[in-house]
Amino acid sequence: MKKAFKDSIPVIAGYFPIGVVYGFVFATSGMPWFFAPLMSLFVYSGSIQLVALGLIAVHASYLSLLVTALLIGCRCAFYGLSLLDRYNPRRDPYLVFGLADTTYSIVVANPHGDRRYCYWLTAFIHSYWFLGTCTGLALAKWLPPFHGGEFVLTALFITLGLDTFFKQRQVKPFIAGSIGAAAAALLFPGHFLLVGIGIAACLLAPQTRRQPA
């Protein structure tokens, strides 16, 4: 538990403030305040929760909420691959559910961490996100709302995109994304994300000579 707490400390700087932002902008969704901590407990994904605020505000369909969550979350869908022999989803569903970006990277960086360590680590990081959300809700009560806070979301996606670029040094995903964005904005602006990601996936999936898998 001690080591789990120590390893999780750097994550406070990352998840707590974004949790605060989430709690702060939560009111834009029109939901009662207590849904904010519930979202952070049961959805536990910053990008899904933030994008969903806008969708819920316009009463988007359940299907579009689910599809959006799956598409945005799909970058997590490959985390588990490197933990297939360490995590047993039937015995420890919470560990799998709690595989956020940072939890994953710390677990992978500690190949000898046992089950207890993983549980503590996951719970600590989950709690930073949760407590950040509650703090943001409280702040929103005291501070007047101001224009411009929504840019946090744009900035978050830019940093996540740049992180993938720094790791892989590939321009192709961003070219495919731009083509998808342009085509979706022109043809189906009402289903921008779904169509855009679909087009990008079709462009990236086939084998090309320059980019062997």
Among 27, 123, 134, 193, binds other proteins (CB under 8 A): 193
Under 8 Å between Cβ of 179 and 200: yes
**Residues of span 13-52 touching other proteins by CB under 8 A:** 13-14, 17-18, 31-32, 35, 38-39, 42-45, 47-49, 51-52
Closer to other proteins at the Cβ: 3 or 154?
154
Instruction: Write out the two tokens for 87.
Output: 């995590």
Among 9, 108, 145, 164, binds other proteins (CB under 8 A): 164
Among 27, 33, 37, 76, binds other proteins (CB under 8 A): 76
Contacts 24+ apart (CB under 8 A), 51-54: 51/153, 53/25, 53/26, 53/28, 53/29, 54/28, 54/29
Among 113, 132, 136, 180, binds other proteins (CB under 8 A): 180
- Min dist. Cβ of residue 30 to other proteins (A): 9
Closer to other proteins at the Cβ: 3 or 50?
50
Number of residues that bind other proteins (CB under 8 A): 90
Closer to other proteins at the Cβ: 121 or 176?
176
**Residues of span 83-142 touching other proteins by CB under 8 A:** 84, 87, 89, 93, 96-97, 99
Any idea which residue has 């022109």 for tokens?
Answer: 186
Q: Is 169 among the residues that bind other proteins (CB under 8 A)?
A: no
Among residues 86, 82, 79, which one has the least CA distance to residue 114?
86
Closer to other proteins at the Cβ: 81 or 109?
81
Closer to other proteins at the Cβ: 3 or 187?
187
**What is d(CA 27, CA 139) in angstroms, rounded to the nearest whole number?**
12
- Min dist. Cβ of residue 114 to other proteins (A): 19
Closer to other proteins at the Cβ: 2 or 186?
186
Among 1, 108, 139, 162, binds other proteins (CB under 8 A): 162
Q: Is 205 among the residues that bind other proteins (CB under 8 A)?
A: yes
